[in-house]
Amino acid sequence: MASASFLKSSPILNKSEWLNGQSLRQPSATVVRCNPVAPSPLTIRAGAYADELVKTAKTIASPGRGILAMDESNATCGKRLASIGLENTEANRQAFRTLLVSVPGLGNYVSGAILFEETLYQSTVEGKKIVDVLVEQGIVPGIKTDKGLVPLAGSNDESWCQGLDGLASRSAAYYQQGARFCKWRTVVSIPNGPSALAVKEAAWGLARYAAISQDNGLVPIVEPEILLDGEHGIDETFEVAQKVWAEVFFYLAQNNVMFEGILLKPSMVTPGAECKERATPEKVAEYTLNLLHRRIPPAVPGIMFLSGGQSEVEATLNLNAMNQSPNPWHVSFSYARALQNTCLKTWGGRPENVSAAQEALLIRAKANSLAQLGKYTGEGESEESKKGMFVKGYTY
């Protein structure tokens, strides 16, 4: 536990706290002790933001809520817009993101939204700051801080994630702009190994990023995505995931990251996308929960899964299966494709479809909220929401 004071104060962040926190605080201490009366040998390097980080993480990991990932880079957003026949212009990206954040009632099901840098500094089509719209909805604004994947020299055609240079000052600026959490996505490929080098690089990069983010008041989402690509079965995914998470937590601890102030964004343990043998939601849940129990300390407040190319319904069914009995952590969603797909198709770039598209997003958000509570039935889902979205070699 990082600090006695956060135990006494309100466990979640209220709106005025994150609005008032717009100016940077002065660090008061760099070492937070477990018990200030009788110092214990357990010291955790948490910095000035320890209490706030814990509150932010708990706010995001609150019952029946999860994260809307809308942090596609401009290039990826362009691919989404092209799929409905729109050009990749700033105005079109703004129109789609305005539609997403202003869905009435979204905050009942969504606790955080991950933004791309352009959106963090952007206003809605009507001229209101997107960050303000989110805060009014009760949704914590987040920011993608990684700078994307590049080839990892000396590996088996694998990649590593850039972005550590200048991360501290960028994170401080994002905090001032209203962001309270962040995301760093790196990937591990099963068909390409994964090599020990690629796993170590992924884990070390995530740990450095997490420490720097916490130092600057942002709750880091730790996301080593184990790509769906490949013909491998579910057991192989499980073995690789065990190795990856062991290494990630080893380096998180070495970098003195405060586990109470992070969130995880794992891939679910599934067979490779090209594996003939498919797995039921119950099997995915069994394997995934087994992995989490073996590797993730209960101090971590929330596990927010990515959808990784699963269909909207598949991602919701799998999440629901994982919430059939109590877990030590909040087990929820941080989906991009599995929340946005039907919404995007319904919109099609036409102003007259905005309300219907917003309703489509709300349906998905509500379904995943029910799945977080283990109460989703899967009834009445559209055909569109059952279509898989896997893309070989997908980049984000």
Among 54, 130, 269, 338, binds ligand 13P (CB under 6 A): 338
Among 184, 204, 249, 396, binds ligand 13P (CB under 6 A): 396
Q: Are 129 and 139 in contact (CB under 8 A)?
A: no
**Positions in 53-112 near ligand 13P (CB under 6 A):** 69, 71
Is 365 a residue that touches ligand 13P (CB under 6 A)? no
Is 120 a residue that touches ligand 13P (CB under 6 A)? no
Is 306 a residue that touches ligand 13P (CB under 6 A)? yes
| Secondary structure (3-state) at 168 | helix
Comparing CB distances to ligand 13P, the nearer of 307 and 346 is: 307
**Positions in 6-35 near ligand 13P (CB under 6 A):** none
Is 229 a residue that touches ligand 13P (CB under 6 A)? no
Is 114 a residue that touches ligand 13P (CB under 6 A)? yes
Comparing CB distances to ligand 13P, the nearer of 52 and 223 is: 223
Contacts of 136 (CB under 8 A, 6+ apart): none
Residue 348 gets the label, from left (phi > 0), alpha (psi -120 to 50) or beta, of: left
Is 87 labeled as catalytic in the residue annotation? Answer: no
Nearest to 364 by CA among 390, 333, 392, 328: 333
Is 223 labeled as catalytic in the residue annotation? Answer: yes
Give Rg (Cα) of the chain: 20
Comparing CB distances to ligand 13P, the nearer of 50 and 100 is: 100
From the list 52, 183, 265, 381, the catalytic residue is 265
**DSSP symbols for 101-144:** HT-TTGGGTEEEEEE-HHHHT-B-TTS-BHHHHHHHTT-EEEEE
Print the binding letters for residues 317-336 with ligand 13P: x by CB under 6 A, - otherwise.
Answer: ------------------xx
Q: Are 361 and 287 in contact (CB under 8 A)?
A: no
Residue 68: C-alpha distances to residues 96, 203, 292 (Å): 14, 24, 22
From the list 52, 72, 158, 223, the catalytic residue is 223
Among 163, 337, 357, 376, binds ligand 13P (CB under 6 A): 337
**Positions in 162-191 near ligand 13P (CB under 6 A):** 183, 185
301-317 as b/e, with b when 16 or more CB fall inside 10 Å?
bbbbbbbbbbbbbbbbb
Identify the burial level of 36 via C-beta atoms within 10 angstroms of its C-beta, where 0-12 means exposed, 13-18 middle and 19 or more buried.
exposed
Total residues in contact with ligand 13P, by rule CB under 6 A: 14
Among 106, 140, 308, 371, binds ligand 13P (CB under 6 A): 308
| Catalytic residue numbers, as ranges | 223, 265
Residues forming contacts to ligand 13P in the complex (CB under 6 A) are: 69, 71, 114, 183, 185, 223, 306-308, 335-338, 396
